[in-house]
Structure 1
Amino acid sequence: MGVACGSRHQRMKSLNLSNMALIGRIPRDFGNLTFLVCLDLGSNNFHGNLPQEMTCLCRLKFLDLSFNNFRGDVPSWFGFLRKLQVQNLRNNTFTGSIPSFSNMSTLQTLNLAFNSLEGHIPVSLSNASRLETLELSYNSLQGNIPEWISSLHNMNSLGLEYTQLVGSIPFTIFNISRIEVIAFTGNSLSGSLLNGLCNGLPILKGFYLSINKLRVHMPTSISNCSQLQILSLSKNEFDGPIHSEIGRLSNLQILELGANHFTGIIPQEIGNLVNLAKLGMEDNQITGSVPISIFNISSLQVVTVAEQS
């Protein structure tokens, strides 16, 4: 348990009750903690709806209610907490649609993953211009990835895994120069990845596109993502050769290309990936032998290239 009070007024500013196996509902009296800046109730067994009295916490900047059993709609009154910078509601049982966050211009982190939310990603989030982390994975959303996400120029991490999204990936997303993680695994995304997609992603480290319906060739411009550590394209409909340019990704640690329609040989340039720990190319249409250069990678732990059709 952690409690911190202001030096001048001795009013409670921070309350940390995380990981204490607490059970029950949030008391309505929490609304009286009007000087509270940080509230962390994560990893407990709280349940029920969030009390509307929490709208009185107008100074709140950090709110963590993750890993509990809260239910009902994500309250629309969160919009009254205009100083909120971090809102973490992941791993609860919230239902309904994602509410409007149009008044939360200071929001930097929004994590709603692992709930039962439905509907579209609201356009009101485009007003959260300071947003750095948007995590909506493992919900039952609808529609496409919206074009306006590319207007969030401070975005560092975008997680939309297993959200039932369809359609193509807006090319403008690949112009968010500060983004480090793009995670779209487990949807029904289709279309192709256009060449040049990595020209605007100088610090991209994690690119997760597995289990979708993406097709055509893997773009050679992927080699421009020089900081890339994880490239996961397995279980799509990519075809054509695996380009030798992939050997330029010297920071790559995980390369997953399995269960596609790649053809041709495994390029020997993959042996240049000196930090590679996992290589997956199974269930493709690759011919020829595995280049000896791959087995000179001292960090390599897992290699799967079997079951070529």
Structure 2
Amino acid sequence: MKISSKDILNFLKTKREISLLFIVSKPQVTSHTIFLLIYATMEKAFASCLLTHLLLHYAMASSAMTHTNITTDQLALLSLKSQIISDPFHFLDESWSPAISVCHWVGVTCGSRHQRVKSLNLSNLALMGSIPRDFGNLTFLATLDLGSNNFHGNLPQEMARLHRLKFLDISFNNFIGEVPSWFGFLHELQVLNLGYNSFTGSIPSSFSNISTLETLNLRSNFIEGQIPKVIGSLINLRELNLRGNKLIGSIPLSLLNASRLESLDISFNSLEGNIPERIGNLHNLNELGIQFNKLTGSIPLSIFNISKIEVIAFTGNSLSGILPNGLCNHLQILKELYLHKNNFHGHMPTSLSNCSELQLLDLSVNDFDGPIHSGIGRLSNLQKLSLKYNHFTGIIPISIFNISSLQYLILRRNNVSGYLPREIDNLTKMQMLDLSENMFIGEIPKEISNLIELEGIDLAYNSFSGSLAMEIFNISGLRKISLSFNNLSGTIPSNIGSVLPNIEELYLMGLTYLVGTIPHSISNCSKLTILELSYNQLRKT
């Protein structure tokens, strides 16, 4: 006998909601019908609270009607195979055959005790397809990894039956629909990775029921709304990644109760307000990313007491204030500090030199002023130093040229002056040197030719004088040279086509004393895309 939605609604006119649990246990009743049942018998707000629980009851009741075993596991996987419309490497075509024990199929692992499928790993196989409803029959599944494929569509509600699931990774696919609230019924889940899909809606509050959760990754989806306060109740959470969504509102104070957090990334959203002062309570943090939001105010001093932190990234907000001089008193293992594109001002803290493990320091696009402190030369592990678009003055401390690990030195558009010292040849690992738009004077030192790993050099808009540094043109790996608008003289080397095989951009504009002809060999620079030779005395042959 088929039970229709109309029959049930008529029945409920005389019966109270106590009848619901009886009705939803019937296998003929669909989840759509249950929606009608709930809203016909209860207030809407109360119905919304119980809806998920009733759906779970329905799913469990339906599951109980099907006795699962290794045969139903096999049928569930064959059903998945039938939904695969592209298997370019033929992994499933060749392995997933009824003639072979399911426990020997590619990507399948069975438990030794129950001989049931406990693990399914189909990651990085370029599979295209969708997940069938009978996937929920894999009730012994503890690990599911479908990452880096082309699966699409919605996740079937029947997956709520996978109550043994501990690890779920479906990242880098094309799944759509709202983030399922039934995840809240997977009470043993430790890792949930939904990153790089097209999920929508808000973050379900039902996540608070997964007390075992250690990793929650929703990166790069289209999730809206606020960060739910209940996230703070996940006391075992160690990684929370909400980067690249459409989240709004403020950072909830309750989040600071997740004291075991080691990695927190809420970058590239539309979060507003201040960074909570109590963020220092997350004393286990080693990575903190709050880039490209709409945050204001100053950096809470408590952050500088998190002794385990290795990465602090606040790029692209509207944070302001000065950096405390005790910045690195406790940050002994800090490796990366990203503060660019904010409104910070004042001098560079001298205590930065105490961050002895620092590898990357980016203070660019702010309003810092004053000198570049000589103590920065003690950062013997520094690989990238970017101070561009500020108001730094004085000379480059000679100590910087003792940092043999330095690969990027970017001081563009400041008020730095003085000579470029010969000690620059100590920077043998240098890949990018950008000193443009400053007030440097004197000759370009010949020792610059020792920077054999250099790929880009930009000395434009300064007051360098003397002859065109021919040594620069002997660095064969260079892809960009910009010497424009200086007081340099000389000629372009005639063999430029052979000595700069990788050159892509060459800027020699505004060199009043550049003379001679444009060499024929420049036509051999096959990778050259930009050539600027205007405003000088060059002539064609």
Counterpart of 2:518? Answer: none
Deviates more, 1:150-159 or 1:61-70: 150-159
Of residues 314, 319, 325, the one that matches 1:189 is 319
The alpha carbon displacement at 1:73 in A equals 3.0
* SS of equivalent to 1:72: coil
Structure with the higher strand share, 1 or 2: 1
CA offsets per residue over residues 136-178 of structure 1, 9 Å max, x none?
A: 3323332243445433333332333334444433332333322
* SS of equivalent to 2:199: strand
Contact 2:272-2:293 within 8 A present in 1 as well? no
Deviates more, 1:200-209 or 1:157-166: 157-166
Runs of 4+ in 1 over 6 A off after TM superposition: none
Closer, same or farther in 2 for the Cα pair 1:225/1:118, shift >3 Å? Answer: farther
Structure 1 CA distance for aligned equivalents of residues 138 and 277 of structure 2: 39
1:224 aligned to 2:354?
Answer: yes
The alpha carbon displacement at 1:296 in A equals 0.8
Counterpart of 1:127? Answer: 233
Of residues 75, 88, 94, the one that matches 2:193 is 88
The alpha carbon displacement at 1:274 in A equals 1.9
* SS of equivalent to 2:433: strand
Of residues 270, 275, 290, the one that matches 1:160 is 290
Structure 1: gaps (5+ residues): none
CA offsets per residue over residues 11-62 of structure 1, 9 Å max, x none?
A: 2222111122222332233333232222111111222333333333333332
Structure 2: gaps (5+ residues): 1-105, 246-268, 440-541
Q: How does 1:113-262 map to 2 (within 5 A)?
A: 113-139=219-245, 140-144=269-273, 145-147=275-277, 149-262=279-392
Aligned residues: 309
* SS of equivalent to 2:177: strand
Q: Which amino acid aligns with 2:330?
A: G
Contact 2:357-2:381 within 8 A present in 1 as well? yes
Closer, same or farther in 2 for the Cα pair 1:107/1:268, shift >3 Å? Answer: farther
Contact 1:242-1:262 within 8 A present in 2 as well? yes
Identity %: 63
Closer, same or farther in 2 for the Cα pair 1:165/1:87, shift >3 Å? Answer: farther
Larger radius of gyration: 2
Counterpart of 1:45? Answer: 150
Q: Which amino acid aligns with 1:25?
A: S
Counterpart of 2:120? Answer: 15
Closer, same or farther in 2 for the Cα pair 1:249/1:23, shift >3 Å? Answer: same
| TM-score normalized with structure 2 length | 0.52
1:112 aligned to 2:241?
Answer: no
Closer, same or farther in 2 for the Cα pair 1:193/1:3, shift >3 Å? Answer: farther
Contact 2:153-2:177 within 8 A present in 1 as well? yes
* SS of equivalent to 1:97: coil
The alpha carbon displacement at 1:305 in A equals 1.1
Q: Which amino acid aligns with 1:61?
A: K
Structure 2 CA distance for aligned equivalents of residues 147 and 105 of structure 1: 26
Counterpart of 2:398? Answer: 268
Contact 1:147-1:170 within 8 A present in 2 as well? yes
The alpha carbon displacement at 1:112 in A equals 2.4
Closer, same or farther in 2 for the Cα pair 1:42/1:298, shift >3 Å? Answer: same
The alpha carbon displacement at 1:102 in A equals 3.1
Closer, same or farther in 2 for the Cα pair 1:296/1:114, shift >3 Å? Answer: same
Q: Return the structure number with greater relative CO, CA threshold 8 A, min gap 6.
A: 1
Q: Which amino acid aligns with 1:218?
A: M
RMSD: 2.5
Q: Which amino acid aligns with 2:412?
A: E
